[in-house]
A and B are shown apart, each in its own frame.
Chain A
């Protein structure tokens, strides 16, 4: 188990290093001079030069790369040019909106998808099965921003039970803050839940056709008991894979959804930073997102071993 973990950790570390090089390189290639953007088209060459050297842009690329990496390791993500505050402060300020949003949608999508998938599989071929899978098909097809607008229309404009957008901050109390996150997380969760429900259903159906299910039935256990005790855990293996993969898409989805709901989260931060060429912010946030995907995949790997004893390496 420890060898397995060490190997996974090493893979995660390599992923992070490669990602940092790619992120840095891509932003080097992107056209647009941040100094020019900050000072405007009428800036004098002297002023531009001064700002460039102040921002370290006159140094060679490798030096800047290692300064950047070294800084991040020490907790210094650099300073945003547009917000004129440390990037780390910005990330923390926005992260306390985005992280709960991501966790809430992950929770919602599994809470919807797995019961629906099991339900459909246990009633294979019935109207209930076709209805839930039809709904899942629609869920896959609907773009999440459009679904978000429908939610706004229903809950904010018509029923007037939830705010249409914005975020009051955690300082305003847990409930008002959570209320502002319900619709965005639902909008994020829906397409994910739809895919996950289909995966759960097919994984369950495949497992239910296995020989050991027949062995369990031959013990005299009812169909239902066999489903819960024998089929579910085996079916969770492919479901976990998809869940891990979906997390990355969830993070990408926050960029759109945070804009739709006007949430001051990381997604909006990175979106604005890109349009304003605030590269140091983009780099910091992207690295943070990469790190969180690596961590989630590590967790998925550990869960694999928890579910499937064949993956536990005997010491």
Chain B
């Protein structure tokens, strides 16, 4: 008898099937990776095990945990299992903790609920658990509130809550997706250690094949509510017998074909023309919150004397961990914020000093693509209006028919049909929406596009298409990119040059391959070492099997 057995699990909302007969077995002390793209039913499977599905969903089949049937188990029995024998870690650490309760209360609460321990005993255990997940008492007393912690620290608290009573089964639903790569590595290592210490079974849900390859003994690959393939991790992912497994693996390692341009651009000719963008000694300070009514507030230096240039048609990655100042720098380049000192010059316009009224020509030359293709559109506007939005930057407003022509042209360039302009954003998939936001960015024919984590919210196959599109537009329209990302595979796939940012400074910059293969600074080394890599993970796993 295995720890967790799922047999022919089916979920429906009315007549709409969500899961179509899932089978999955997880043994004690083992790690099962559950992989799939959004909408494949991974999270629904996890919630079915927890019996925390939305009320509208009907379930059938069999889920047994340690011989206990969970499907249809009475609520009281589930309450005894949840948090005690089965723990769960969620994707979004920023919202997973109650903002009005201290972390001590939130960790000790479950302990008291299940063990009837006194408040003092429960707090003592909570203290030990928080120490264990890397939140020592000196810096993180029990009286801290969630808003005083960073995302990575909050995720540690969530893990402490889930593991406080050493559950037999831990379910982790995309536990690191919202974190930067260095934090991701730390959190995954913590999970692995806790699983080893307590001989827990871990059901690890992820869309990232590299993470799963690194962490799990077995994988189950899901698509549209069905299991495509399941088996031992190294074999399944290296042999790729199922076409969908192969498709996923290829997509996650996808590098767009950028021709010889990348190499060309490193040639000496680039030095001749004036750079498209030059950032000179830019610093941005934010005042700290005032501590008293009359005291002078201190400053936080978000960006510290940054200088670089970017040539026409060049594609540059700005990489760094969350909070390193890369988004602040991007905001200043886009003239959405002003530097405290230093200048930023975009094709002859001083965007760091010009008044708003005189920025129009500069704004035409720079556009942005945001991370979240769901949140960056007004859901009540049609695509035509959304894509045409930057056209107010033109000196002469286009007529209605001209406007439609321009929108049609932009949609055509990103691979959408001109007829799509009469639809609303909800009629498109995530990947198509990101195409719409790229169409919106290119409609003024900008020379520079700043893309803030443009593919990190996308599934791997859509992500591969988006990267191809970026590469294609770079080659055809000669538009330069500044990619802001913590994902080195994106940087490697699509940029000529990389700049590594750390605590407000650019600590290293150079050709993409050089930096990613031979990082010099500690910050760059940490990023490279933490970046999940499917190939390396599989090699390690196969080597381990070979040794046994």
Q: Can you list 24 A-B pairs with a CB-CB distance of less than 8 A?
A: A3-B290, A3-B292, A210-B95, A211-B95, A212-B95, A212-B97, A215-B97, A216-B109, A218-B82, A219-B161, A220-B78, A220-B80, A220-B82, A220-B83, A221-B79, A221-B83, A221-B109, A221-B110, A230-B98, A230-B101, A234-B99, A234-B100, A308-B100, A310-B147
Whether A307 is near chain B, meaning CB under 8 Å from some CB there, is: yes
Residue of B96, B100, B114, B292 touching A309 (CB-CB under 8 A) = B100
> With A219-B161, A310-B99, A315-B291 given, is the CB distance from A214 to B113 under 8 Å?
no
Number of interface residues of B (CB under 8 A): 37
* Bitwise interface map of B from 90 to 111 toward A, beta carbon under 8 Å scored 1, else 0: 1010011111110000100110
Residues in chain B within 8 A of chain A (CB atoms): 50, 52, 75-76, 78-84, 87-88, 90, 92, 95-101, 106, 109-110, 113-114, 145, 147, 158, 161-162, 289-293
Bound together, the chains give a CA A17 to CA B141 distance in angstroms of: 45
Query: Of the candidates B76, B80, B84, B92, which one forms a contact with A211 in the assembled complex, judged by CB atoms under 8 Å apart?
Result: B92
- Residues of A in contact with B (beta carbons under 8 Å apart): 3, 6, 210-212, 214-223, 225, 229-230, 233-234, 307-310, 313-315
With both beta carbons as reference points, the residue of chain B lying nearest to A232 in the complex is identified as B100
- The one of A221, A223, A310 that contacts B113, using a Cβ cutoff of 8 Å: A221
- Given that A215-B158, A219-B109 are contacting pairs, would A313 and B99 also be in contact in the complex, using a CB cutoff of 8 Å? no
Least CB separation from A223: chain B residue: B75
A307 engages B292 (CB within 8 Å)? no
Q: Report the separation of the CA atoms of residues A310 and B100 in the bound assembly, to the nearest whole angstrom.
A: 8
A218–B52 Cα gap in the complex (Å)? Answer: 8
In the complex, what residues of B have CB within 8 A of residue A225's CB? 113
Asked if A219 meets B100 with Cβ closer than 8 Å, knowing A3-B293, A310-B145, the reply is no
Chain B: minimal CB distance from A199 (Å): 18
For the complex, what is the distance from the CA of A314 to the CA of B96, rounded to whole Å?
23
Q: Which residues of B contact A221 (CB under 8 A)?
A: 79, 83, 109-110, 113
| 19 additional A-B residue pairs with CB within 8 Å, beyond A211-B96, A215-B106 | A211-B90, A211-B95, A212-B99, A215-B96, A215-B97, A215-B98, A215-B161, A216-B109, A217-B52, A219-B109, A220-B82, A220-B84, A220-B113, A221-B79, A223-B75, A308-B99, A309-B99, A309-B100, A315-B292
Q: Please, which residue of chain A has its CB at the minimum distance from the CB of B88?
A: A218
Measured CA separation A216–B113 after assembly (Å): 11
The 8 A-B pairs with the shortest beta carbon distances in the complex, nearest first, are A220-B83, A219-B110, A219-B83, A220-B82, A211-B95, A212-B98, A218-B88, A309-B145
Specify which chain B residues have a CB less than 8 angstroms from the CB of A218 in the assembled complex.
Answer: 50, 52, 82-83, 87-88, 90, 162
Closest A residue to B47 using CB positions: A214
Question: Nearest Cβ in chain B — how far from A224, in angstroms?
Answer: 10
Q: In the complex, what residues of B have CB within 8 A of residue A223's CB?
A: 75
Q: How far does the Cβ of B288 sit from chain A's closest Cβ, in whole Å?
A: 11
A214 touches B52 (CB 8 A): yes
Q: Contacting A6 at CB < 8 Å: which of B52, B96, B293?
A: B293
Q: Chain B residue with minimal CB distance to A307?
A: B100
